[in-house]
Amino acid sequence: MTTAFDPQALMAREFAPIVHRYDTRDTMLYALSVGMGTDPLNADQLRFVYERDLQALPTMVSLLAYPGFWADDPTTGIDWRRLVHAEQAYVLHTPVPVAARVVGRNRVSAIYDKGAAKGALMVQSREIVDADTGGAIGTVTQTTMLRGNGGCGGCEGAPAAPHALPDRAPDATCDLPIALGAALLYRLNGDFNPLHVDIDIARQAGFEKPILHGMCTLGVATHAIVATMLGFDANAVRGMRVRFSAPVYPGETLRTEMWRDGRVMSFRCSIPAREVVVLTAGRVDLA
């Protein structure tokens, strides 16, 4: 029996802590899945896919202690078939360790009602700490548009306004091809949603073929930012925020446009062949 959607109950919902142990193999797999290592003779790329002097890409924090897809639990009242990933953000208190045992504590921190016709925005926050030392690693925030759950109330106020991109030409642009098998590789990081591999399920969802994971698109964009603007120093990143605006298909080329203003970088991503923006209002905070 499905429970009625109740924003207050969701914000009070308790999630069991997630203990996650990962090693250097997982860190290298993540980097490979977002395009690092495509040139095995590039010493800079090897820093992410070779155990010697290994460093983790900052977006990997979003994989740590992930609570899984829980919105399809009937007790949530969420119309999970109509939800879409709207925004992703994280703040790092330390560079992502290349191997660790971590604990993640997830909660629904806010729900903003946009009306019955638009839906509701649900914000999840996850605090990640080192399981052995208790040291804070980072906070991951995910915003989901619940298209079928508007008109039910929620928090006072409104979500934070999107980051404004600079009103000038980009300081740099990077085009990165996405492999045809990218979704098959990325799903090995733990996101086994069949939408990204099963053509029948993709068509049922309204797509011509399986789409790329949104978090894989963000990882490829981070690859472009680290390579183009940061000299492959991923540890310079201390936070990121971005909005998802359209899906990407494996085999396409992702164009990342970047601006730098001191310790803040802005970015947006598009698919030139389709003339569509897929990531927007992107912001990177630097150490």
| 235 shares a domain with 126 | no
Q: Is residue 213 part of a domain?
A: yes
Is 191 a catalytic site residue?
yes
Nearest to 91 by CA among 121, 41, 128: 128
For the stretch 9-41, pLDDT in tens is 999 999 999 999 999 999 999 999 999 999 999
> How open is the CA angle 56-58-59, to the nearest 5 degrees?
115
Is 157 among the domain residues?
no
Higher pLDDT, 137 or 71: 137
Residues 128 and 182 in one domain: no
In percent, how much of the chain has pLDDT > 70? 99
For residue 203, tell me if it sits in a domain. yes
Same domain, 37 and 77: yes
User: Do both 121 and 14 map to the same domain?
Assistant: yes
Say whether pLDDT at 80 is over 90. Answer: no
Q: Which of 146, 163, 191 is the last residue of a domain?
A: 146
Same domain, 85 and 20: yes
How many angstroms separate the CA atoms of 203 and 130, rounded? 41
Domain range for residue 69? Answer: 8-146
Tell me: the pLDDT tens digits for 257-281? 999 999 999 999 999 999 999 999 9
**What pairs with residue 19 in β-bridges?**
103
CATH (domain of 84): 3.10.129.10
Contact 259, 265 (CB under 8 A): yes
Helix (H) / strand (E) element for 132: namely: none
The mean pLDDT of 84-106, rounded to a whole number, is 97
Q: Are residues 176 and 269 in the same domain?
A: yes
Of 146, 163, 183, which residue sits at a domain end? 146
Nearest residue to 111 via CA among 159, 147, 68, 161: 159
Residue 178 inside a domain? The answer is yes
What pLDDT sits at residue 193? 86
Residues 225 and 269 in one domain: yes
Per-residue pLDDT band at 82 (split at 50, 70, 90): confident
Regarding whether 135 and 83 lie in a shared domain, the answer is yes
In this structure, of 63-77, 173-187, 234-248, the range with the lowest mean pLDDT score is 63-77
Domain count, the chain: 2
Kindly state whether residues 136 and 221 are assigned to the same domain: no
The pair of structure tokens assigned to 80 is 């999970």
Strand stretches in the chain, DSSP E: 18-22, 83-92, 100-113, 120-130, 136-146, 172-177, 237-244, 253-261, 264-271, 276-286
Of 45-54, 164-173, 201-210, the least confident: 201-210
Residue 159 placed within a domain: no
Q: Residue 152 falls within a domain, yes or no?
A: no
Same structural domain for residues 124 and 208?
no
Based on the residue annotation, tell me whether 23 is a catalytic residue of this protein.
Answer: no
Query: How far is residue 134's CA from residue 204's CA, in Å, rounded to a whole number?
Result: 44
Which entry of 26, 191, 213, 223 is annotated as an active-site residue? 191
**Distance in angstroms (rounded) separating the CA atoms of residues 110 and 156:** 9
In a domain, 194, yes or no: yes
d(CA 136, CA 94) in angstroms, rounded, equals 8
- Among 96, 131, 146, residue at a domain's last position: 146
Say if residue 184 is in the same domain as residue 242. yes
Q: Is position 231 within any domain?
A: yes
Residue 1's pLDDT band, with cuts at 50, 70 and 90, is low
Same domain, 209 and 272: yes
**From the candidates 196, 198, 223, 285, which is the catalytic residue?**
196
